Amino acid sequence: MVEVHLWSGLRAQAGGREVVEVEASTVGEVLSGLVAAHPELQEVIDAGVSVAVDGRIIASGLTEPVSEDSEVYLMQRLKGG
């Protein structure tokens, strides 16, 4: 299982939790795992999120690998000016 850290504003959509464990080997599986565990997260994930894996911020790539010991943080979608 991969521990996914949510930003605290998402607690309301994740049953009050800030860390959710999902079965995943890619970023895409992290996201689908989150929605499976907490369907309320669908809207925010659809609106766009980024995922930090061991400090590397993955803006959109769903195929990026994730391992059990990865530090995974969900982040709001990055863009720039």
Partner 1 sequence: MALDEYKPQKGGDQLEQGHAFKYVGTRPDRPDGTDKVTGRARFGADITAPGMLHGAILRSPHAHARIVNIDTSKAEALDGVKAVVTRADFSAAIQPAPGMAGEMWNVLENVMAGDTALYDGHAIAAVAATSALTARDALKLIKVTYEVLPHVTDVDAAMAADAPVIRDGTADKSVPPGLHPNVVRYHQSGHGDVEAGFAEADLVIEDSFTTEATHQGYIEPHACLGTLGGDGKGELWCCTQGHWNVQKICAALLDMETSQLRVTASEIGGGFGGKTTVFIEPVALALSRKANRPVKLVMSRSEVFRATGPTASTSMDIKIGMRKDGTITAAQGVFRAQGGAFPGAPMEFTAMCAFAPYNLANVHQVGYDVMTNRPKQAAYRAPGSPMAAFAVESVIDELCNQLGLDPLEVRLKNASREGTRASYGPKFQRIGLVETIEAAMAHPHYSAPLAPGQGRGISCGFWFNHGGETSVTLALSEDGSAQIMVGTPDIGGSRASMALMAAEVLGIPYENIRVTVADTASLGYNEVSHGSRVTYASGLATIKAAEAAVRELCKRAAAKWGIEEEAVYWEDGYAKPSGPNAGDFEPLHISKITRSMGATGGPINGHFEATPEGAGVSFATHIVDAEVDPETGSTKVVRYTVVQDAGKAIHPTYVEGQFQGGAAQGIGWALNEEYIYGTDGRLQNAGFLDYRIPVASDLPMIDTVIVEVPNPGHPYGVRGVGETSICPPLAAIANAVSAAAGVRMRNLPMSPPRIFEALEAKNG
Q: Which residues bind partner 1 (CB under 8 A)?
A: 5, 7-10, 12-13, 40, 43-44, 46-48, 52, 54-61, 63-64, 71, 73, 75-81
- Cβ closest to partner 1, residue 33 vs residue 70: 70
Identify whether the C-beta of residue 29 lies closer than 8 Å to the C-beta of residue 23.
yes
User: How far apart are the C-alpha atoms of 73 and 16, rounded to whole Å?
Assistant: 16
Using DSSP bridges, classify how beta strands 56-58 and 49-53 pair: parallel, antiparallel or unpaired: antiparallel
Using DSSP bridges, classify how beta strands 56-58 and 72-76 pair: parallel, antiparallel or unpaired: unpaired
> C-beta of 25: minimal distance to partner 1 in Å?
14
- Cβ closest to partner 1, residue 56 vs residue 69: 56
> C-beta of 47: minimal distance to partner 1 in Å?
4
